[in-house]
Amino acid sequence: MVTVRKASERGRSQNDWLDSRHTFSFAEYHDPRNMGFGHLRVINEDTVAPGQGFGRHPHRDMEILSYVLEGSLEHGDSTGNGSVIRPGDVQVMSAGTGVVHSERNHSPSQPVHFLQIWIEPDARGVAPRYEQKRFSEEQKQNTVRLIASRDGREGSVTFHQDASLYTGLLDPGGAITMPIAPGRRAWVQVVRGEATVNGETLAAGDGAAIQSEATLELRGRTEPSEVLVFDLG
């Protein structure tokens, strides 16, 4: 079964420096029909104006991933970590017992467009940690590349949950097939272009819940596309 969550149906928050679209309930946007999917709790698509951003604020007991589509995102936190995240990077911060962090547009002249993803952990009160890695376009072209997992296999970043995050770049007409293990389900988020997901056409910003399916079939359409695939218990 494929259940599509259209981009136009998402929640939205706006101010003079931020435009944020919420796939699931978040902050002041509350939709009891869309509180998350399994342990996947938040997918926010954010565009932040040059030189602006989220000031220091706390988190705890959440796995927070950042995935930049355009521009550059500057991160700093109370554990002493700091970096700039660019397209091709994935960053995970395990908030655990508590961390204070900030996220700002690193550029004084160009906006930054990124996804903020929250996954509920399978253990509370862990020590906060931070990890960032880069994955090339060649590793993702017309295939799905594992970029985050519980066990760090295949060089992925690690988080505290029985879940795996893959990314793929599809050429027009390109096809990707991956199995879904019995008892598991998937969420697909199209972040660029347009693709079909088990026969359903999704555009950028659309997501789809995949349940009771043995196989996930992704196919590019008329322009290059980029997808994220969450394999969830």
Give residue-wise pLDDT tens across range 58-117: 999 999 999 999 999 999 888 888 899 999 999 999 999 999 999 999 999 999 999 999
Q: What is the pLDDT of residues 196-213, one digit of tens each?
A: 999 999 999 999 999 999
User: For a pLDDT cut of 90, what percent of the chain falls above it?
Assistant: 96
Mean pLDDT over 187-202 rounds to 97
Cβ atoms of 228 and 197 within 8 Å: the answer is no
Domain extent for 17:
2-232
Could you tell me the CATH number of the domain that includes residue 23? 2.60.120.10
pLDDT of residue 10: 98
Task: State the total domains in the chain.
Answer: 1
Exposed/middle/buried for residue 8 (C-beta within 10 Å: 0-12, 13-18, 19+): exposed
pLDDT of residue 132: 97
Strands 157-158 and 185-192 come out as: unpaired
pLDDT of residue 15: 95
Tokens read off for 199: 């026969």
pLDDT band at residue 6, thresholds of 50, 70 and 90? very high
Concatenated DSSP letters for 41-67? Answer: EEEEEEEE-TT-EEEEEEE-S-EEEEE
pLDDT of residue 140: 96
pLDDT band at residue 145, thresholds of 50, 70 and 90? very high
Q: In what order do the strands lie in the sheet with 207-210?
A: 2-5, 207-210, 185-192, 225-232, 163-170, 145-149, 157-158
Cβ atoms of 199 and 151 within 8 Å: the answer is no
pTM comes to 0.96
Instruction: Give counts: helices (H), strands (E), the chain.
Output: 1, 22
pLDDT of residue 137: 94
How far is 51 from 107, CA to CA, in rounded Å? Answer: 6
pLDDT of residue 102: 92
